[in-house]
């Protein structure tokens, strides 16, 4: 998922081992499984534990020490009229115990019609029960299995309000003629449209048959065939094992355009050409990354451009990243997001965090790789600007967070795992890796990353697995340059460690005197030459403005640079933040249009918070209530809390 999306431990020693790093196997505590069977949620028993246990996923009911789902076959039909998906999920299990135990799966608001179990195609009806519903985790599904059963088939249907599914009316799409559906499973929303072990430490392959209205095309995080006839039945296969949060589906009026030998873009016809032109460097990004970090292992890398209500910048669903149209700026200024989602093909999809506590292993590595890709494709200056903006974003986030939420290996027990998403796992994680690079040299660090991706390929690992690997590699190879206590400080303590690198860009520092001269009245805004400014420089210039500006200053900036009418969403966002806190009325029509036409939480959450903090809650409520029917369920949840308080749903 993209950095700056951005919505938003413990001191366990690194695992000792000999002859290679020990990788944690998926498991749940026996107490957690027992409580789920008895109808108690993990949240009930988590509070009794003094510290989180490495390798335990506190956000799943699944008894993964007894069973592992290794493969899923889906046969699903999409009903736009009722806003439900219904059909069958057939799970292939690996049994890890000889004892007769129930299989416990994760669900959320699913209607379970029937369950069969047995061997292969020899299945028989079995008893099942739904346990106590937890507000964050959903409802455990307990299934009584016949002795030695390895196959479970579940017939079910989703709720129209499924947290991981968004249904769009035709008027909410670019074309305006057909409805649209897309799923968003991260962090724990796959359970709202598939009953399974919804934990990132469980990896599975899947096949799917998706049935749709014949005029629409279905695509998935799997092998998509752009030549497939629009006949209402689509077949998919994902042969590489992935965690459940990377299972993704979209259905709509979609066409395809290639961008390279292994890359292309799916989009509504109205957006297709613009998207293909904007992201035409994707193939070059892929090739540049392969040269440094090893081969791309997912066959193709395509993009799906979603309607603007998509709540994130992008989602790294393997083979088919889901992308917001808000990054189509016409000048490739926002394509770092594409580099980020591509980088996840190595960090996140190939090597995955074992729990949401370990998200920094996904996002910190990916943010570091993103910056390197941008340097390789667009040069050193672009690289320095991206790094400097990331550092500024991190500092801003740290100023607004409790100490417990500034820790990379965050304790999320009893909390919604969506709370993990902030600049901490992204930018602090990236800055940590940048310090390692600075201390041992780029060539040596690139070799370490290449070896790391190969060593843990198609594995889900914990923070402690990473530390154990670091002990056996870099800490032994570079004892003078690296210090374990310093590394643990980065991971387990709040804030940025003293002496950490501070990326800077000359392209930004030359703007400081211009801003100061304008603020002091020495120069007029119209006298500032912005002809060669990048969006990064605009963002830096605007974000560095003081909290309060006068009405005349605001009108001068807007008149000189047309900020209210900017077509670049990043520039518009920075300007609208200034407009809200200074009650600049001429920008409020654009503000309302921005909030009602875009669903990206990176923009919405700060703007709604700014409205509330500026005494404009009535305005925030009015716009939100008008817009929320077109927002994703995650967007509604996040911004309800901003506008109505932390207890709002």
Residue positions annotated with a catalytic role: 341, 426
Q: How many CB atoms lie within 10 A of CB 285?
A: 25
CA 174 – CA 172 distance, rounded (Å): 7
DSSP-based three-state secondary structure for 289 = helix
The DSSP symbol for 161 reads T
Helix (H) or strand (E) holding 458: none
The DSSP symbol for 357 reads G
DSSP-based three-state secondary structure for 7 = coil
Q: Sign of the C-alpha dihedral, residues 425, 246, 356, 638?
A: positive
- What are the b/e assignments for 471-505, b being 16+ CB within 10 Å? bbbbbeebeeebeeeebbbbbbbbebeeebeebeb
DSSP-based three-state secondary structure for 490 = helix
CA 622 – CA 257 distance, rounded (Å): 40
Q: Sign of the C-alpha dihedral, residues 436, 439, 445, 451?
A: negative
- Decide: 85 and 161 in contact? Cβ < 8 Å: no
The angle formed by the CA atoms of residues 620, 626 and 627, to the nearest 5 degrees, is: 85
CA 240 – CA 247 distance, rounded (Å): 12
DSSP labels, 560-596: HH-GGG-S-HHHHHHHHHHHHHTT-GGGHHHHHHHHH
- Decide: 221 and 238 in contact? Cβ < 8 Å: yes
- Decide: 424 and 410 in contact? Cβ < 8 Å: yes
Helix (H) or strand (E) holding 393: helix 380-398
CA 446 – CA 617 distance, rounded (Å): 49
């Amino acid at each position: 998922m993209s950095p700056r999306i951005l919505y938003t431990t413990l001191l366990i020693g690194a695992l000792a081992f000999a002859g290679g790093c020990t990788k944690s196997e998926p498991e749940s505590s026996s107490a957690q499984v027992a409580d789920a069977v008895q109808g108690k949620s993990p949240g009930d028993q988590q509070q009794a534990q003094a510290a989180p246990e490495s390798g335990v996923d506190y956000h799943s009911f699944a008894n993964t020490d007894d069973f592992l789902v290794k493969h899923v076959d889906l046969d699903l039909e999409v009903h736009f009229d009722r806003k439900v998906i219904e059909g069958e999920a057939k799970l292939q299990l690996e049994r890890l115990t000889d004892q007769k135990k129930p299989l416990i799966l994760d669900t959320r608001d699913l209607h379970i019609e029937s369950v069969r179990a047995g061997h292969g195609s020899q299945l028989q009806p079995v008893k099942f029960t739904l346990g106590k519903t937890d507000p964050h985790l959903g409802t455990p599904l307990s299934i009584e299995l016949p002795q030695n059963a390895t196959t479970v088939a579940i017939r079910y249907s989703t709720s129209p309000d499924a947290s991981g599914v968004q249904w769009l009316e035709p008027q909410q799409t670019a074309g305006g003629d057909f409805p649209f559906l897309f799923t968003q499973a991260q962090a724990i929303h796959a359970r709202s449209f598939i009953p399974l072990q919804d934990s990132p430490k469980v990896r599975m392959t899947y096949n799917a048959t998706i049935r749709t209205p014949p005029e629409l095309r279905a695509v998935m995080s799997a092998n998509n065939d752009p030549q497939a006839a629009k006949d209402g039945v689509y077949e998919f296969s994902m042969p590489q094992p992935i965690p459940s949060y990377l299972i993704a589906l979209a259905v709509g009026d979609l066409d395809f355009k290639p961008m390279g030998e292994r890359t292309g873009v799916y989009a509504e016809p109205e957006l297709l050409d613009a998207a293909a032109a904007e992201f035409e460097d994707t193939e070059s990004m892929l090739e540049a990354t392969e040269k440094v970090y090893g081969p791309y292992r997912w066959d193709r890398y395509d993009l799906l451009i979603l309607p603007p209500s998509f709540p994130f910048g992008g989602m790294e669903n393997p083979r088919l990243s889901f992308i917001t149209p808000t990054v189509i700026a016409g000048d490739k200024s926002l394509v770092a997001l594409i580099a980020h989602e591509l980088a996840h093909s190595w960090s996140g999809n190939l090597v995955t965090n074992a729990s949401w506590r370990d998200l920094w292993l996904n996002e910190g590595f990916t943010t570091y790789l993103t910056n390197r890709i941008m340097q390789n494709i667009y040069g050193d200056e672009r690289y320095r600007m991206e790094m400097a903006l990331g550092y500024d974003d991190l500092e801003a986030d740290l100023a607004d967070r409790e100490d417990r939420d500034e820790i990379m290996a965050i304790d999320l027990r009893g909390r919604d795992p969506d709370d993990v998403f902030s600049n901490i796992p992204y930018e602090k994680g990236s800055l940590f890796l940048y310090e390692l690079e600075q201390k041992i040299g780029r060539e040596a660090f690139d070799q370490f990353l290449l070896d790391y991706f190969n060593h843990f390929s198609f594995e889900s690992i914990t923070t402690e697995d990473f530390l154990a690997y670091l002990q056996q590699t870099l800490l032994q190879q570079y004892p003078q340059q690296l210090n374990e206590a310093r590394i643990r400080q980065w991971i387990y303590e709040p804030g940025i460690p003293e002496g950490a690198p501070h990326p800077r860009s000359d392209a930004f520092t030359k703007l400081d005197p211009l801003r100061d001269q304008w603020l002091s009245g020495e120069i007029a805004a119209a006298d500032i030459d912005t002809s060669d400014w990048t969006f990064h420089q605009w963002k830096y210039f605007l974000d560095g403005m003081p909290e309060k500006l006068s009405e005349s200053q605001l009108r001068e900036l807007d008149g000189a640079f047309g900020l209210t009418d900017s077509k670049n969403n990043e520039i518009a966002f920075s300007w609208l933040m200034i407009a809200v806190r200074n009650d600049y009325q001429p920008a409020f029509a654009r503000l309302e249009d921005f909030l009602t036409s875009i669903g990206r939480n990176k923009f919405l959450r700060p703007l709604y918070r700014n409205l509330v903090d500026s005494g404009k809650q009535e305005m925030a409520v009015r716009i939100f209530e008008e817009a929320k029917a077109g927002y994703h369920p995650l967007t509604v949840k996040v911004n309800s809390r901003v506008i109505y308080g932390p207890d709002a749903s």
